[in-house]
Every structure is written in C-alpha cells, then in structure tokens.
Structure 1
Amino acid sequence: MRIGVLLSLAVVFLHAYVVSSVYVVEINNVIGPYTLSQVQRAISLAEQNNGAVLLLLSTPGGLADVTLQIMREIGNSPVPVIGYVYPDYSYAWSAGTYILMSTHIAAMAPHTVIGSCQPIAGGTPINESKTLNALIGYLETVSKSYGRNGTFARLCITQNLNLGAEEALRQRVIDVIAIDINDLLKKINGTLVLLRNQKTQLIITSTILKRAEPTITETLQMWLSDPVVSSILSLLAFILLLAAFLTGHPAAVVAAIILLVISMFSFLPTAWLGLALIIMGAVLIMAEILMGMAAHGAVAGVGAVLLIIGFLSAYPANFFSGELIHIKDWWLIQLGLYIDIAIFLGFLSFVIYKIIILYKQRPPSEFLTSLKGVEGVAIDDIGPESPGFVKVFGEYWRAVSDTPVRKGCRIRVVETIGDMLKVEPLQC
C-alpha cells in the first residue's frame, strides 16, 4: 500500500519511467554489425513493452564505425539502456568502454576492468591527430552529458588508461558497482537518468529478465567474425583456388568463390545479410544446373541451405520465440513474406524437377563410377590403333576411338576400359 502511494506520487510529481521487464543483450565477443542489430532489436522490444535494456559487456572491443552507431542508438533511445561489465573478472576494453560510457547507467562488477581505447587499424595503433581528436571529442561529450568524468574519456584514448571498478566509481566514470544483475537492479531503482535530454526517474516494478537472443543471420556473422574461423575459410579458399588452377575443375572454382564471398559476410550490415544469402543461394543453384550437375549436387545443396537461411532471416527477429515485435502495417509485411515463400517454393520445386530429369537420363551410380556420356576435348590425334590423351573435367585421360578423332575436336566418352577411355567424336 505504502509502496503504491509512493509510486503514484513519483509519477505525478516527477517524470518517471516504470520498468516492467528488462531485455538483456550479452556482448561477450568482438563487437560487429550483429551487435548493433541486437541492440536495436532490444531497444525496439523494450519500447513496445515498457521495458529497459541491459547490456552485459565482456568484450575485447570491435569495429569503430559499428560502435559509434551503437552509441548513437543509445543516445536516441526512448527507453533506459544500462551498461554492466559482467560477470565478475570480465573486461570491457576499447569499444566496450565506449559503449559503457554512452549508456544511461554505467555499472561494473567488483573485479572488472575498462579502458585501452586507442583505435587500431590493421593491428597498428592509430596516432593520427584528426582521428584521435574526433574520438576524444565525441567520447568526452557523451560522458559529460551523463555527468561522468570526461578526463578519463581523453586519457583512455591518448594513454590507454585502464580502471578497475572501485577506481572507476571513485573517479565518477561509472555510476554503480553491483555483484550481480539482481543487485544492480535493486541499486538503480529510483535513480534519475537523462532520457532524451530529460531527467527521468527510473522505477523498476519487476525484475523479469528477457534475453534478446541472436537471430540466424547474427549468429552466422558472429561465427564468421571469429579469427579462427576466418583463417580456416581463407586457407580453404586458397587451397581450392590452387586446385582449380592445377586441374581446371569448375567445382573447385565455385567452391573457392563461395568461401571468399561468405568470409565477407561478417562486414555486411545485418539487415542486408538475408538478401545477400538469398541472392547467393539462387546463383549457386543456377551455377550447378548450368554446369550439368558437375559437382554432384554439392553446390546446389549449399545454395539451397543459403536460400532457406536467407528467407528465415526475413522474419522479425522474435517471431520464432513467440514474442513478435508489433509493426505498423504488419499485414503488408506478412503478405510480402508469403509471396517470397511462394516464389521460393516454386523455384525450389522447379530445380528439384530438373535434377530428377537429369538423373533419370544419367543414373547417379553410372555417373559416379564411370565417365560414360561425359564430354571433353581431344588433346592428341586419336585412332583405333593410336591412343592419345583427352581432357575431361579438367583432367587428362588416355583414350582410344573406333573412329579417328583429330586434335582439338569435341568428344564423348563411350565406356571405360581399365584406366583408359573409349571415346567418339562429336564435332571439330
């Protein structure tokens, strides 16, 4: 009763924001486009459900342009965004510190560290004054707008200064130290925050935590941004390009291109990644068909997977978790999705039909165990008593022919005789 009366008075006499749920975003890896997407989605959900956003920071840093976009999103957010370096013994260096200092409430667990904000390009620290002064000015301005220590903003960029939780609180870099999330929410209840340039009292009536889980495309980008995964993809692409150069096999070229393009997905804005996946999937399926299924359906299979992932990513992020983001004119988006699905299913049915027809004409067992019916080019003059070499699928084979074949003519494999092919001429 007493709490209810106090709450009513607070709402009447102060500009208050009553939090009924908290949307949690875990930033526990390198900050990239997927991080921006998660933060934007969490802010949208919190706005529509009278909630707040809690960013759990445990990161070595990330991309500068994405970080600045996240800071701008937080500054313009209609809901409170709380930054918290957590769990204990974590760190939020570089981009993590930028984000923490731009949140409406900045908090740290007891044994955590922030700092080391000098920008890096290609592994080398940037000392160019234009870039440094721009970042210093922006971080100082953002920090001071929340009543925090602007000097630290300068020193963490120019001198890579680091601070522990106790020192950060003493120097007014952060607002609170909390041992866990529940402790944090208790300590910030009733706090005044600057929300869209208006002092607002934060009233937390519930501690319902809802995690903003990464979407399919965000998870893919996160995975591709891992340095180990990136190195493996680059190495495989190089090996496949070398194999394609030595053998001339089209499947090796296509596979190398696939890996190179996929490795670039980590730099795409997440909103465009779904479209890129759909386009690439369609291109791979068509390439496989045009190659006469030379890769035995492997390329088309990868294309189909990319198509499916791309179409799934077109749905609102929380569709499959049962918490749909309310969008104006949602029926129009639904109609567009249904049309896309219908087109996709029609295209996929057409591809499957063509594959079935192709395999009926050329049984898989025959295609995989022999080269019967495969076309190639004669490298030498070939006759019944004068064997020569032909090039099939980018590889050289010794061959004979009942009918004379001149060098450079198109040939078709009639049968395999041991390690030799029997061919027939097609055209010269």
Structure 2
Amino acid sequence: MRAASLLLVLAVFLHAYTVSTFYVVEINNVIGPYTLSQVQRAISLAEQNNGAVLLLLSTPGGLADTTLQIMREIGNSPVPVIGYVYPDYSYAWSAGTYILMSTHIAAMAPHTVIGSCQPIAGGTPINESKVLNALIGYLETVSSSYGRNGTFARLCITQNVNLNAEEALRYKVINLIAIDVGDLIRQINGTTILLRNKPTVLVVKATATVTVQPTLTETLQMWLSDPVVSSILSLLAFILLLAAFLTGHPAAAVAAIILLILSTFTILPTAWLGVALIIMGAVLIMAEALMGMPAHGAVAAVGAVLLVAGFLSTYPANVFGGELIRIENWWLIEAGLYINIAVLVGFLAFMVFKAVTVHRKRPPSEILTSLKGVEGVAIEDIGPDKPGFVKVFGEYWRAVANKPIKSGCRVRVVELRGDFLVVDSEEC
C-alpha cells in the first residue's frame, strides 16, 4: 500500500515529458516583433508534435516590450524551452540575457558571454528608478522561479555585470555548459525542469532538430529593422519628397510616402504586417487607376508587389514551408487561399488593363519632347530646301517640309530633326 502511494506521489511530482523533435529558433540579430513571432510558431509546432523549443542566442539585445512578451510566452509554454548561447565565441547581451534566464533550461557554449542588461532609450542608458526597479523585480522573480541566481539579475541591470560560461555556471545563473547542440541534448536528457509550475522529467526520445525558418513577413520586418536599411530608406524618402516638391510629379510623392510608411512597419506586430501590406498595395493600385495612371503604371506596379507579398505572408509558414503541423478545418484555409488568389488575379488584371490603355495613348512627356503630331501654322513659305518659321504651341520654330507649303497654311509636325521641325501640310 505504501509502495503504491509512493508511486502515485512520484507520478504527480515527477511528471515526464518525452521529446521527439527539437524546434530550433536562431536568434542571431536584434530582437524585435519578428523574433516573438518565430518563438510563438516554434512553441505551437512543438506543442502539436510532442517536441521542445531550442533558442540559439547570439544577439546584442533588442526591444524591451518584445523581450518581455517573449519571456511571458516562455513562462506559459506547455512545452520545454531551452536557451543556449551558441555558437562558440558568441554573446547574448541585454535582451538576450533576459530571454536566456527565462527559459526552462539555460545553457552556454564554453567561450560565450552574457550580461549588460541596463535598458537604453535613444542611445542613452535609462536610470529612472521606476523603470529599473520594475525590470529588476521581474527578472529576479523569473530567475528565482527556475532556481537561478537572482542577485545576478539585479547586478546585470544596475551595474551591467557580465559573466562568461564558467562564471555563470559557478554562480548558478545557468544550468550547464555544452560544446555543441548534440552535447546539449545529451546533457538535458533525464533532467528535471519546472514546466507550468510542475516538476517534469525531460526524456529525450529522439535527437531530430527542425529549424523554424523566418516567414516572408518576418524576414521583411527584420530587414526593415536594420539600422543601415532604415537610414537609407529615410534618406531616399527625403530626396523623393524634395523631387516631388520641385517637379510636382505624383510618382515621386507617392514613392516617398511608401518609404515613410514602410519605416513604421518595424514596430507593428508581425501578424498584422501582412494585412498592412495588402491594404497598402490595394490603395496604391486603386489610387493610380482612378487618377488615370499619371505615373504610367509605376505606382500600381509597386502596389502589386506589396499586394502579392501581403497575401503570401498572411498564411502560416507550414502552407509554403512544409512544416509538420496539424491543422483542423483545413478546407477553410484552402478556400480562403483560393478566394485571395482570385482577388489578387483580379487586381493584377485590372492593373494590366489600365496600364495597356494608358500606354496606347501618347503620354504628355512624349508630346513635349518630340512634338510629333502637334498642329501649328506656317509663318513663311516652306519647302524641302527652303526652311522657314512655323508657330507651334504659341512659339516660333524653324521648320522644313517634304513638299512646298504656303505661308498661313495649317501644318502638322512629323518629327524633330536636330534644330528643325519636319512638317506636313494639314490644310491651306
């Protein structure tokens, strides 16, 4: 009876979680909304396929709000999340340290560093006690819940303390040091973690790893978040606004507005970025179509690109990437895909029709540069070997004709040949 009771207690307190696949998220750049999106997808995949999430950290830090959301996702995760500062000679500073200390198992490669957690705003360290105390309290609480050193959580914020792998292990900031991913997986097999406040034994059934690749939307947002790209976009937007002011051309103004709007996409939740692209693309196509294609299809073409990118990015990665995930009511997603493709094809067909219609007409730029087809009046007698003046657009031009034309006759410009117009007689 006592043995049965003991087994029951062990079953309750030593719950086992069997891992068949490790879903790997490589956090090797600045942490932003796209990182949160990848972590959420990895947790969902692991939950539906009896797996665990492995975060490979090599990052200088990132956005505070996004980092806190990632920590909350990890804390509420139904599957184990392992943080690993890797590869060797990498670092996980600031937000990377926050995330590492919030994972169920924290590990580092031998020659890696963590720390420097003081928040920064606009390049200046924040020293306000309200902000610092809030972050200290939260990081201490999260770290202590996993049995880690809460003192380091305070010091890495207040004094920007850094630790290498050996120091972090010695001071109980991390759980282990691993040479590579294979070594990490071998060491965590059979360890006990706190999963949703329940002691759980981690049983590694298989060592298969699947890298969770960034989606089209995540890649675009990651690209736009790069400081170099952001600076180039801002400079181009300024140049285009100046060009629009000097020339009055609508295409330059629209292009500048597009660049300015794209620069705001970095702060949007990644899930909404695809919708924003669809709306923006549709607006650009309809705007140029309703205005009579003043940019000769250039603005509408940009809108079409944004529309395609938006449609592709609104679907889960598994639709196009082949990730193993079970989806209920698949027919709804399939029907939505067909509907969206039909709408997209309709938009593109309408755009092509308007572009062809406009290009069949002679644009004003052609008239102004060649004057071909423009009518005027002969001021003097003109012939093949007798140049004379004609009046076109209220101005006097030197002209020649293929046959004699009397003064006062109506003429039509055939071509511009050097400094002379070649004209034919319209009526006389």
Q: TM class by shorter-chain length?
A: 0.7 to 0.9
1:84 paired residue number? 84
2:244 paired residue number? 244
Following the alignment from structure 1 to structure 2, what is the Cα–Cα distance between the partners of residues 206 and 123?
45
The 3-state SS of whatever aligns with 1:20 is: strand
Cα distance change, pair 323–110 in 1 and its aligned pair in 2 (3 A): same
Q: Give RMSD over aligned pairs.
A: 2.9
1:46 paired residue number? 46
Following the alignment from structure 2 to structure 1, what is the Cα–Cα distance between the partners of residues 141 and 373?
72
2:337 paired residue number? 337
In structure 1, runs of 5+ residues without a counterpart are: 1-9, 375-382, 386-398, 404-412, 422-428
> Please, what TM-score do these two structures have when normalized by structure 2?
0.84
1:229 paired residue number? 229
Cα distance change, pair 119–416 in 1 and its aligned pair in 2 (3 A): farther
Aligned-pair distance for 1:300? 1.5
1:364-375 alignment runs, 5 A limit: 370=370
Cα distance change, pair 243–211 in 1 and its aligned pair in 2 (3 A): same
> Do the aligned partners of 2:293 and 2:354 also contact (CA within 8 Å) in 1?
no
2:212 paired residue number? 212
1:259 paired residue number? 259
2:104 paired residue number? 104
Following the alignment from structure 2 to structure 1, what is the Cα–Cα distance between the partners of residues 156 and 102?
15
Following the alignment from structure 2 to structure 1, what is the Cα–Cα distance between the partners of residues 196 and 183?
26
> Do the aligned partners of 2:58 and 2:85 also contact (CA within 8 Å) in 1?
yes
> Do the aligned partners of 1:193 and 1:199 also contact (CA within 8 Å) in 2?
yes
1:253-332 alignment runs, 5 A limit: 253-332=253-332
Of stretches 124-133 and 288-297 in structure 1, the one that deviates more from structure 2 is 288-297
> Do the aligned partners of 2:13 and 2:199 also contact (CA within 8 Å) in 1?
no
> Please, what TM-score do these two structures have when normalized by structure 1?
0.84
> Do the aligned partners of 1:314 and 1:337 also contact (CA within 8 Å) in 2?
no
Cα distance change, pair 189–364 in 1 and its aligned pair in 2 (3 A): farther
> Do the aligned partners of 1:316 and 1:324 also contact (CA within 8 Å) in 2?
no
Cα deviation 1:242-277 (Å, max 9, x = unaligned): 111111111110111111111111111110000000
Aligned-pair distance for 1:368? 10
Q: Tell me the number of residue pairs that the alignment of Structure 1 and Structure 2 aligns.
A: 385
Cα deviation 1:95-150 (Å, max 9, x = unaligned): 00000000000000001000000101111111111111110000000000000000
1:60-71 alignment runs, 5 A limit: 60-71=60-71
1:261 maps to amino acid: I
The 3-state SS of whatever aligns with 1:23 is: strand
The 3-state SS of whatever aligns with 2:24 is: strand
Following the alignment from structure 1 to structure 2, what is the Cα–Cα distance between the partners of residues 294 and 318?
40
Aligned-pair distance for 1:218? 0.3
The 3-state SS of whatever aligns with 1:320 is: helix
Following the alignment from structure 1 to structure 2, what is the Cα–Cα distance between the partners of residues 16 and 238?
59
1:338-377 alignment runs, 5 A limit: 338-362=338-362, 370=370
Following the alignment from structure 1 to structure 2, what is the Cα–Cα distance between the partners of residues 284 and 368?
27
The 3-state SS of whatever aligns with 1:179 is: coil
Cα deviation 1:305-349 (Å, max 9, x = unaligned): 111111011211122222253233332233223222212212221
Aligned-pair distance for 1:291? 4.0
1:125-164 alignment runs, 5 A limit: 125-164=125-164
The 3-state SS of whatever aligns with 1:203 is: strand
In structure 2, runs of 5+ residues without a counterpart are: 1-9, 380-390, 396-411, 422-428
1:299 maps to amino acid: V
The 3-state SS of whatever aligns with 1:348 is: helix
Cα distance change, pair 373–400 in 1 and its aligned pair in 2 (3 A): closer
Cα distance change, pair 174–367 in 1 and its aligned pair in 2 (3 A): farther
> Do the aligned partners of 1:384 and 1:402 also contact (CA within 8 Å) in 2?
no
2:183 paired residue number? 183
Q: Higher Cα Rg: structure 1 or 2?
A: 2
1:401 paired residue number? 393
1:168 paired residue number? 168
Following the alignment from structure 2 to structure 1, what is the Cα–Cα distance between the partners of residues 143 and 13?
28
The 3-state SS of whatever aligns with 1:148 is: coil
Identity of aligned residues (%): 78
Following the alignment from structure 2 to structure 1, what is the Cα–Cα distance between the partners of residues 64 and 415?
60
The 3-state SS of whatever aligns with 1:264 is: helix
1:195 paired residue number? 195
1:144 maps to amino acid: S
Following the alignment from structure 1 to structure 2, what is the Cα–Cα distance between the partners of residues 193 and 367?
76
1:388 paired residue number? none
> Do the aligned partners of 1:85 and 1:108 also contact (CA within 8 Å) in 2?
yes
Cα distance change, pair 324–334 in 1 and its aligned pair in 2 (3 A): farther
Cα distance change, pair 373–69 in 1 and its aligned pair in 2 (3 A): farther
1:196 maps to amino acid: R
1:121 maps to 2:113: no
The 3-state SS of whatever aligns with 2:207 is: coil
